[in-house]
Structure 1
């Protein structure tokens, strides 16, 4: 089987035939596939070795799979079904070593390099935010890409406890390694007290556009996303959505929550405004199911992944 195979073989299970609570849990009830069979490889990275506060994001991919059984086929606003235009499949989890951070970074990069070689675009469920670094290493080998980044935190710090590889540093490392063009990076929803007044100096000095939550509230989603679209242009762009961009009253199951965040409605609207952008890949990170036994945070993550899938499909139409 290859990518010339009919889309009929890459459809979600019909909930009228197999109830949503039955069957094997896969992302959006899609079939298990290999990267060379699909246009979008939906994958998990069950790794939280980069967390600096509360752990548990290693369980994110499994619970997001469970909650994604509630994802339907057709987007209610656009009337668009990504499954009819795109071959999508659950391509499993990247291999990780819970006792060796650097070995995990290497194995994650290798996993995504194979997806990239197969010419599939990855849509990833994390895992903590450090996973974005090895993914970018795999996708940006030919040159730096742009980034639309939804988060409460800039993640451009230098180190914690002397360690330069953790979930607060991935985008600093990515800029230093030439994986991101900092002048085509926009970070939306940033908020919360910081440990030092210089915490944002690196990002600002590099030309990263930081939209703090106060500016977002004043300008609104449309104006902010119009700027984001203009900033990344028609060049290859990666999208990273940290679930803590959302207010913790909505998504409490995350390691470093910050009050005063974005609503799910605002987040959905903003992702939809990425329609037509050349998205080379996207991730949804920092869902920690043990911190939210209700499953609401994982459901928010699964729903945002469907929104991302729709705009990824649109960018390839």
Structure 2
């Protein structure tokens, strides 16, 4: 059956919702074309249906498709950033990585290689998880593509810099400790945002500081406000290659009940989106949105929030790509 699409500037965009209702047809992210339906992709949205690294409630393996279904209402123009991302660059849905759910080491290797394959022609990735274990291989691939350790903003209720769970070094609570140990993060430009809740002890914070992380808690966002937080983060990151990793549990359970390890006192979806928009003009090279567990997501609240977060990440990348093309001999201007 014919799929009429919105097209502009040689880029193939979403299915035309004035001709096919949004609830009809197979779900791709924002109703965009599949990767095999276009001759190239500047930005690829890819799913990683993997949750074998969780320590509490499972179900994030179903998160990628849940976010896709929740993205049906996304529209081509982003007024908050004054950009039509699908007109600026070619964005496509790359489907899901086929990841072994029974062998976490093999899964990590597969994710890393698939990420390298998808970015071989210069495309950038926005990855839909999956649990937070997947951030480690994605960071490995991003660092390899950048040719250097990368800066990172990590939005999460939790630090995810613990050492092991039950002797296991690779879980959704350990990826950023491993990333520091492997030298793939620029430890002068890494920060957690939105952390809160009880810890195992003060050593958790001492270890985290030793690794180089700055911390902006959810209370900091509330008391200081979005603008001050954005200014501090931009100053810390500068124009380094930046990877953004977003655990949806950074949001308060009122805004994201569908996640595996909810914590009270989180930031709002509005605050998260505004902080991300404050990163406009930065050197964003990759991003993920993880830990969406649809079994706990009544009324699709979490899926909708995650889809809008992913949409803004795509918009930031599209804006950066066109700004770079307009000024090829200069660094990306901060705006």
TM over 0.5: yes
Q: How does 1:223-238 map to 2 (within 5 A)?
A: 223-238=228-243
1:294 to 299, 311, 314: 299
SS at match of 1:266: helix
Tell me the secondary structure at the aligned position of residue 55 of structure 2.
coil
Q: Quick check: 1:29 aligned with 2:31? A: yes
Question: What's the CA shift for 1:293?
Answer: 3.8
The CA distance in 1 between the partners of 2:61 and 2:143, in whole Å, is: 25
Unaligned runs of 5+ in 1: none
Give the Cα–Cα distance (whole angstroms) in 1 for the partners of residues 187 and 41 of structure 2: 31
Q: Number of aligned residue pairs: give it.
A: 313
Contact 1:229–1:274, Cα closer than 8 Å, also in 2: yes
Determine the structure 2 residue equivalent to 1:85: 88
Residues 201-216 of structure 1 mapped to structure 2, 5 A cutoff: 201-216=206-221
Alignment root-mean-square deviation, CA: 1.4
2:109 to 106, 109, 113: 106
Q: How far 1:312 moved relative to its partner?
A: 1.3
Q: Secondary structure at the match of 1:295?
A: helix
| Contact kept in structure 1, 2:60 and 2:291, CA below 8 Å | yes
- CA positional deviation for 1:9: 4.7
Deviation at 1:206, TM superposition (A): 2.3
Partners of 1:281 and 1:7 lie apart in 2 by 24
Unaligned runs of 5+ in 2: 1-6, 323-335
SS in 2 for 1:92: strand
Aligned-partner SS, 1:117: coil
Aligned to 2:161: 156
Equivalent-residue separation in structure 2 for 1:6 and 1:244 (angstroms): 36
TM value normalised by structure 1: 0.96
Q: 1:96 aligns with which of 96, 99, 103?
A: 99
CA contact (8 A) 2:41 2:90 kept: yes
Partner Cα distance (2:302, 2:275) in 1: 18
Asked whether the 8 Å contact 1:31–1:89 carries over to 2, the reply is: yes
SS at match of 2:118: helix
Runs of 4+ more than 3 Å apart: 5-9
Q: What SS does the aligned partner of 1:63 have? A: helix
The TM-score, its normalising length taken from structure 2, stands at 0.91
Does the residue aligned with 2:15 lie in a helix, a strand or coil? coil
Tell me the secondary structure at the aligned position of residue 78 of structure 1: coil
Q: Which residue does 1:242 correspond to in 2?
A: 247
The answer to whether the 8 A contact 2:131-2:172 is kept is: yes
Distance across 1 between alignment mates of 2:298 and 2:210:
41
Aligned equivalents of 1:126, 1:238: Cα separation in 2: 15
Deviations 1:104-124 (A, max 9, x none): 111111100101212100001
Q: Please state how far the C-alpha of 1:8 moved relative to its aligned partner.
A: 4.2
- Match for residue 190 of structure 1? 195
